[in-house]
Protein backbone atom coordinates (compact mmCIF):
# COMPACT_ATOMS: atom_id res chain seq x y z
CA UNK A 1 0.00 0.00 0.00
CA UNK A 2 1.48 3.32 -1.08
CA UNK A 3 1.40 5.99 1.62
CA UNK A 4 0.99 9.74 1.32
CA UNK A 5 3.10 11.54 -1.28
CA UNK A 6 4.59 14.97 -0.62
CA UNK A 7 5.80 17.10 -3.52
CA UNK A 8 7.43 20.53 -3.56
CA UNK A 9 8.04 22.64 -6.66
CA UNK A 10 8.93 26.24 -7.48
CA UNK A 11 8.00 28.34 -10.51
CA UNK A 12 7.95 31.90 -11.79
CA UNK A 13 4.76 33.84 -12.50
CA UNK A 14 4.43 34.50 -16.26
CA UNK A 15 4.04 38.24 -15.84
CA UNK A 16 3.24 40.46 -12.91
CA UNK A 17 0.22 38.55 -11.62
CA UNK A 18 -2.49 40.68 -10.08
CA UNK A 19 -3.93 40.06 -6.67
CA UNK A 20 -7.23 38.99 -8.23
CA UNK A 21 -5.42 36.41 -10.40
CA UNK A 22 -3.66 35.05 -7.32
CA UNK A 23 -6.99 34.86 -5.52
CA UNK A 24 -8.48 33.05 -8.51
CA UNK A 25 -5.62 30.53 -8.56
CA UNK A 26 -6.09 29.89 -4.86
CA UNK A 27 -9.87 29.55 -5.10
CA UNK A 28 -9.48 26.93 -7.86
CA UNK A 29 -6.75 25.16 -5.89
CA UNK A 30 -8.87 24.93 -2.73
CA UNK A 31 -11.90 23.69 -4.66
CA UNK A 32 -10.01 21.06 -6.67
CA UNK A 33 -7.83 19.95 -3.79
CA UNK A 34 -10.82 19.48 -1.50
CA UNK A 35 -12.33 17.17 -4.13
CA UNK A 36 -9.01 15.34 -4.61
CA UNK A 37 -7.92 15.00 -0.97
CA UNK A 38 -4.89 17.24 -1.52
CA UNK A 39 -3.49 19.48 1.22
CA UNK A 40 -0.63 21.97 1.14
CA UNK A 41 0.63 25.48 1.00
CA UNK A 42 1.31 28.01 -1.78
CA UNK A 43 3.73 30.91 -1.24
CA UNK A 44 4.04 33.85 -3.62
CA UNK A 45 6.65 36.58 -3.51
CA UNK A 46 8.67 38.69 -5.96
CA UNK A 47 7.15 36.97 -8.99
CA UNK A 48 7.83 33.41 -7.83
CA UNK A 49 5.78 30.56 -6.41
CA UNK A 50 6.73 27.83 -3.96
CA UNK A 51 4.14 25.11 -3.38
CA UNK A 52 3.85 21.88 -1.42
CA UNK A 53 1.23 19.28 -2.35
CA UNK A 54 0.31 16.27 -0.20
CA UNK A 55 -2.08 13.45 -0.94
CA UNK A 56 -2.24 10.04 -2.49
CA UNK A 57 0.32 9.41 -5.17
CA UNK A 58 -2.04 9.40 -8.15
CA UNK A 59 -3.80 12.62 -7.13
CA UNK A 60 -0.57 14.45 -6.32
CA UNK A 61 0.84 13.46 -9.72
CA UNK A 62 -2.31 14.43 -11.62
CA UNK A 63 -2.50 17.74 -9.81
CA UNK A 64 1.17 18.54 -10.35
CA UNK A 65 1.00 17.73 -14.07
CA UNK A 66 -2.11 19.89 -14.43
CA UNK A 67 -0.40 22.76 -12.61
CA UNK A 68 2.64 22.41 -14.90
CA UNK A 69 0.38 23.04 -17.93
CA UNK A 70 -0.90 26.31 -16.46
CA UNK A 71 0.12 29.32 -18.59
CA UNK A 72 0.04 31.64 -15.58
CA UNK A 73 3.48 30.47 -14.54
CA UNK A 74 6.67 29.16 -16.16
CA UNK A 75 9.63 26.92 -15.29
CA UNK A 76 7.84 24.63 -12.84
CA UNK A 77 10.79 22.94 -11.16
CA UNK A 78 10.52 19.91 -8.93
CA UNK A 79 12.47 20.40 -5.70
CA UNK A 80 11.35 17.36 -3.72
CA UNK A 81 9.10 14.31 -3.85
CA UNK A 82 8.82 11.54 -1.24
CA UNK A 83 6.47 9.21 0.58
CA UNK A 84 5.67 10.45 4.07
CA UNK A 85 3.96 8.85 7.04
CA UNK A 86 1.84 11.83 8.03
CA UNK A 87 0.76 15.00 6.28
CA UNK A 88 2.47 18.15 7.54
CA UNK A 89 0.01 20.65 6.05
CA UNK A 90 -3.18 18.72 6.72
CA UNK A 91 -5.02 21.82 7.98
CA UNK A 92 -5.25 23.38 4.55
CA UNK A 93 -6.69 22.25 1.19
CA UNK A 94 -4.27 24.97 0.03
CA UNK A 95 -3.04 27.82 2.23
CA UNK A 96 -2.04 30.78 0.06
CA UNK A 97 0.40 33.31 1.51
CA UNK A 98 1.85 36.50 0.03
CA UNK A 99 5.32 36.75 1.48
CA UNK A 100 5.28 40.53 1.60
CA UNK A 101 2.35 40.42 3.98
CA UNK A 102 2.47 39.64 7.64
CA UNK A 103 3.39 36.00 8.05
CA UNK A 104 5.12 36.02 11.39
CA UNK A 105 8.41 37.22 12.82
CA UNK A 106 10.09 33.88 12.25
CA UNK A 107 9.24 33.92 8.53
CA UNK A 108 10.38 37.53 8.17
CA UNK A 109 13.70 36.76 9.88
CA UNK A 110 14.14 33.73 7.67
CA UNK A 111 13.43 35.70 4.50
CA UNK A 112 15.90 38.36 5.62
CA UNK A 113 18.49 35.63 6.06
CA UNK A 114 17.68 34.25 2.61
CA UNK A 115 18.20 37.69 1.09
CA UNK A 116 15.08 39.78 1.68
CA UNK A 117 11.64 39.44 0.15
CA UNK A 118 12.71 41.19 -3.07
CA UNK A 119 15.13 38.34 -3.68
CA UNK A 120 12.74 35.48 -2.97
CA UNK A 121 14.07 32.96 -5.49
CA UNK A 122 12.60 29.56 -4.62
CA UNK A 123 13.90 28.07 -7.89
CA UNK A 124 17.35 28.38 -6.38
CA UNK A 125 16.54 27.06 -2.91
CA UNK A 126 17.61 23.64 -1.73
CA UNK A 127 14.70 21.37 -0.84
CA UNK A 128 15.65 21.52 2.84
CA UNK A 129 15.67 25.34 2.87
CA UNK A 130 12.34 25.37 1.03
CA UNK A 131 10.90 23.18 3.80
CA UNK A 132 12.31 25.43 6.52
CA UNK A 133 10.43 28.32 4.92
CA UNK A 134 7.18 26.40 4.33
CA UNK A 135 7.18 25.13 7.91
CA UNK A 136 7.86 28.59 9.34
CA UNK A 137 4.91 30.03 7.40
CA UNK A 138 2.73 27.11 8.55
CA UNK A 139 3.70 27.81 12.18
CA UNK A 140 2.90 31.51 11.71
CA UNK A 141 -0.59 30.61 10.49
CA UNK A 142 -1.08 28.03 13.22
CA UNK A 143 -0.37 30.74 15.82
CA UNK A 144 -2.87 33.17 14.35
C1 LIG B 1 0.95 28.56 -8.96
C2 LIG B 1 -0.27 27.72 -9.21
C3 LIG B 1 -0.71 26.84 -8.22
C4 LIG B 1 -1.83 26.04 -8.42
N5 LIG B 1 -2.20 25.15 -7.45
C6 LIG B 1 -3.21 24.28 -7.71
C7 LIG B 1 -3.55 23.26 -6.77
O8 LIG B 1 -3.00 23.16 -5.67
N9 LIG B 1 -4.54 22.40 -7.11
C10 LIG B 1 -5.22 22.46 -8.30
O11 LIG B 1 -6.08 21.64 -8.55
N12 LIG B 1 -4.94 23.44 -9.19
C13 LIG B 1 -3.95 24.35 -8.93
N14 LIG B 1 -3.65 25.32 -9.84
C15 LIG B 1 -4.56 25.52 -10.98
C16 LIG B 1 -4.29 24.52 -12.07
O17 LIG B 1 -3.16 24.90 -12.81
C18 LIG B 1 -5.52 24.44 -13.01
O19 LIG B 1 -5.81 25.70 -13.53
C20 LIG B 1 -6.74 23.94 -12.27
O21 LIG B 1 -6.44 22.77 -11.56
C22 LIG B 1 -7.92 23.67 -13.20
O23 LIG B 1 -7.53 22.79 -14.20
P24 LIG B 1 -8.45 22.51 -15.47
O25 LIG B 1 -8.77 23.86 -16.06
O26 LIG B 1 -7.61 21.65 -16.37
O27 LIG B 1 -9.67 21.84 -14.97
C28 LIG B 1 -2.55 26.15 -9.65
C29 LIG B 1 -2.11 27.05 -10.63
C30 LIG B 1 -0.99 27.83 -10.42
C31 LIG B 1 -0.54 28.78 -11.48
The domain that holds 64 is classified in CATH as: 3.30.70.100
Residue 117 has pLDDT above 60, yes or no: no
Residue 118 has pLDDT above 60, yes or no: no
Q: What is the pLDDT of residue 99?
A: 87
Q: What does the pLDDT look like over 30-46, one tens digit per residue?
A: 999 999 999 999 999 88
Q: Which atom of ligand 1 is nearest to the CA of 67?
A: 17
Separation between Cα atoms, residue 78 and residue 11, nearest integer Å = 9
Q: What does the pLDDT look like over 87-116, one tens digit per residue?
A: 999 999 999 998 876 567 777 777 777 765
Atom 19 (ligand 1) nearest CA? 70
Provide the domain limits for residue 25. 4-142
Average pLDDT, the chain: 90
Q: Which atom of ligand 1 is nearest to the CA of 36?
A: 11
Separation between Cα atoms, residue 109 and residue 63, nearest integer Å = 32
CB 48 within 8 A of CB 121: yes
Dihedral sign (CA 57, 60, 63, 64): negative
**Ligand 1 site-directed mutation target among 51, 64, 66, most atoms within 8 Å of CB:** 66
Cα 124 to ligand 1 centre (Å) = 22
Q: What does the pLDDT look like over 45-85, one tens digit per residue?
A: 889 999 999 999 999 999 999 999 999 999 999 999 999 99
CB 32 within 8 A of CB 92: no
**Ligand 1 site-directed mutation target among 10, 28, 60, most atoms within 8 Å of CB:** 28
Structure confidence at residue 17 as a pLDDT band (50, 70, 90):
confident
pTM (global) more than 0.85: yes
Q: How many domains does the chain have?
A: 1
CB 81 within 8 A of CB 22: no
Provide the pairing of β-strand 4-13 with 39-45. unpaired
Separation between Cα atoms, residue 93 and residue 31, nearest integer Å = 8
Q: What is the pLDDT of residue 119?
A: 66
Amino acid sequence: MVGTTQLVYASRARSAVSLSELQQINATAVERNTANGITGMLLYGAGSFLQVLEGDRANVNRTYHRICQDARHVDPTLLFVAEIREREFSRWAMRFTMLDQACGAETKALLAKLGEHANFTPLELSASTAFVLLRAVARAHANQ
